[in-house]
Structures are given as structure tokens and as C-alpha cells.
């Protein structure tokens, strides 16, 4: 998927999409899957990842909403990532099967490991 096409899909006003677009425009690397996978499969995997992140004191931006949106979408989705050039932020994307629309977006700061308090 070409960068300008992905930028046009990130035109939403939710915080995760706004950050994703800004990150992409600032020179981030990105990847979008060529094939779609069942929405329910993604919803189960990322619901579990959300639970694990929360167990470690992390609250990813928009991941709970993304899991809900892809489950409601019900059709296969293509996953993708946008990684900030400075490696401080990553965005998870879910696109419609044909890549024509953004279904959901979530993000979190990197590194994903929190150091325990001293």
C-alpha cells in the first residue's frame, strides 16, 4: 500500500488515528498485510494482548475500542503497523479486506516493557 493511500485512510478524528497520521507523515515506517484474516481471530488475539498489557500497567490508546470495532465489523480485516522513526510509538491498524477503509486503529508507546519501581 502506498503511503499517500494509507494517509488518506487515517482521516478520522479519534486520537489514535490522529497520532497515527502524524507519525506516518513524520517519516515512520509502515507495513500492511497483503491478506486479510477473520475479524474474530484478530479480536481474540488483541483482546488477550490488551489484558496482558493492562496486567503490566500499560493502557494502549484505543485498543479496547479497536477490538470492539473489528468484532462488530465481522468481515475479514488486514492488519498493519506504523512504527515511529524514533521507535517511541507504534500504531496497530485494521483495514477492510480490500484495503479501502480503516476499521480500527490503536497505539502504544515503545518500549513496551515497564521497569519496576526501585
Q: Which residues, 6 or more positions from 29, have their beta carbon under 8 angstroms from its beta carbon?
A: 82, 83, 85
Cβ atoms of 56 and 114 within 8 Å: the answer is: yes
Residues of the chain with pLDDT under 70: 112-118
Residue 103 — φ and ψ, nearest 5°?
-90, -45
Amino acid at each position: 500500500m502506498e503511503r499517500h493511500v494509507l494517509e488518506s485512510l487515517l482521516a478520522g478524528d479519534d486520537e489514535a488515528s490522529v497520532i497515527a497520521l502524524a507519525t506516518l507523515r513524520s517519516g515512520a515506517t509502515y507495513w500492511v498485510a497483503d491478506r486479510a484474516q477473520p475479524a474474530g481471530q484478530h479480536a481474540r488475539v488483541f483482546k488477550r494482548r490488551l489484558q496482558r498489557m493492562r496486567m503490566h500497567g500499560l493502557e494502549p490508546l484505543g485498543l479496547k475500542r479497536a477490538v470492539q470495532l473489528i468484532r462488530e465489523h465481522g468481515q475479514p480485516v488486514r492488519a498493519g503497523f506504523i512504527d515511529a522513526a524514533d521507535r517511541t510509538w507504534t500504531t496497530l491498524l485494521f483495514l477492510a479486506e480490500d484495503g479501502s477503509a480503516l476499521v480500527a486503529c490503536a497505539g502504544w508507546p515503545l518500549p513496551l516493557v515497564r521497569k519496576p519501581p526501585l
